[in-house]
Amino acid sequence: MRRRDFLGGVAASVCAGWTPSLLGQDKTPGKPLEIGLGPQLFLDDYLIDRLDGLTRRVQSPQRLEKPVLDSKTFGTTQPYLTVLPDSRQKGYRMWYNCGPAIWHAESEDGIRWADPRVAWDLPRGYGASLVDDGVRAANPRRRFKLANWQATRAKEDKVGDNSGMYVGFSPDGFHWTAYDKNPVLPSYPEGYPKVSRHGIGDIVDVYYDPLARRYAAAMKLHALPEDGYKAAPRAGHVFRRLVGMSTSKDFLHWEKPWRILVPDNKDDGLLEFYGMGGMHVRGRLRIGLARVLRDDLPCDAGGPKNGIGYAVLVTSRDGVTWTRYREPFLDRNPDKGSWDHAMTWMSGSLPVGDEVFFYYGGYARGHKIASKVERQIGLARMKKDRYVALVSAKETGTLRTRPFLVSGDRLTVNAKTAGGDIRVRLLDAGGEPLKDLGAAESRPIRGDVLAAEVRWPKPLAMLRGKPVRLEIRVRQAALFAVDFHAEAK
């Protein structure tokens, strides 16, 4: 049974939290946005002034039937991992957990993996979250940076506890040196055993934010009694698991974490989060994949309440405030008895050609069941930038943007039509048709296209640096993104 069956049925096509029919009617545009080059995804309302007759619909990637890393061959025990391009040769590298240790595997295509071996034999820890600084690395011996939860004591959670977020460095991803002042963020910043708003739980995911030029870490934080949450079944004395974030310029000195994802009164049941992985940037939008946990639900109706989990999209424009979708991006497998029937927790995102590969941990029967044999790594794929579609509620819908400065020489559209088309009309900042290119409306775009060029009688480059709006008509089609490009020199 699917999660939405347990929750009473949420409309599958609408993302909670947005009004699909009309966002605004801006008659006084003010200062135009400076959007820069790159894709403009419509996961949030940043560029949108009005939506008439269009609805957001989350698009789920297509999962492979079998795991790409199975527990028998690769020893997988957790869903936390990092996948990066292999700069040494053509292909890809993955770091993942086998027990507390961090293991490594290699692949030529991102699908078939081989050569599992120990990369860092840690005695106590969770997670395998890395950043490869590449040519950006000021110190080649610290090119690879890792952060996870660790504790050096044989048993943490007692007087003298030194658990928290640890970091380490490597020149090649195999030979690691721990920072001598770990933990960089402690589990008990106010002293053991006091649980605080800023104490680090045992899940950590890091990435490099190129927009802010800093590192960022999403981590598990804990709800406190004064937050007023009803205790979840397996949350212990922390009531609910939440998500926090911290940033750093050097990977050594980190800000005090702040909360970014918490349950609210729109959530059913005892909802929790197990961190946020797969963080990456498209255009000027940061995207994360939050792991949602419902420990109060059974995998199948009438069965034991061993917990279910899935992944949802989370977005941010500033890297500080994040907004989540409530509908699953990758739901658990509905097929009873499948290896990922209970949990689908995402951790890695990897661009491969015209696709994005999403790696996730699949659990067969529940949250805490048979971790050594029933936690395996799967792969789900989708065409690039197709996280969320704008689709017409009737035959035709329209999107009007806020005023922005034309930043490129060419404009392309990512869309899929079904007997219809996409048409783009140029407007001036006040919303009147703009005919500087010979006609306000472009030629129609049809088909399943990732980067179809929008064409007018004259080149778009003539408007570079000038304020405009776009009015995009979507007829029997799905619109995913527009993209501004600089002309190749």
Fold of 62-383: Tachylectin-2; Chain A (2.115.10)
Give Cβ neighbours of residue 56 (< 8 Å, ≥ 6 apart): 14, 15, 18, 20, 42, 43, 388, 389, 390
Angle at 150 between CA 145 and CA 153, to 5 degrees: 140
Name which CATH class applies to 19-59+394-485: mainly beta
Residue type, 160: G
Query: 257: exposed, middle or buried (C-beta count within 10 Å: 0-12, 13-18, 19+)?
Result: buried
* d(C-alpha 94, C-alpha 250), whole Å: 24
Alpha carbons within 13 angstroms on the beta-carbon side of residue 108 total 0
pLDDT score recorded for residue 29: 52
Strands 204-209 and 185-186: unpaired
Q: Where in the chain is the domain with CATH 2.115.10.20?
A: 62-383
Give Cβ neighbours of residue 146 (< 8 Å, ≥ 6 apart): 95, 102, 120, 128, 129, 130, 131, 167, 168, 169, 170, 176
* d(C-alpha 260, C-alpha 463), whole Å: 39
pLDDT beneath 70: ranges in the chain? 1-29, 488-489
pLDDT score recorded for residue 159: 78
Give Cβ neighbours of residue 442 (< 8 Å, ≥ 6 apart): 423, 424, 425, 426, 454, 455, 456
pTM (global) more than 0.75: yes
- Paired tokens of 17: 């939290």
pLDDT score recorded for residue 488: 61
Q: Where in the chain is the domain with CATH 2.60.120?
A: 19-59+394-485
* d(C-alpha 432, C-alpha 287), whole Å: 34
> Between the CA of residue 424 and those of 66, 400, 417, what are the distances in Å?
42, 10, 14
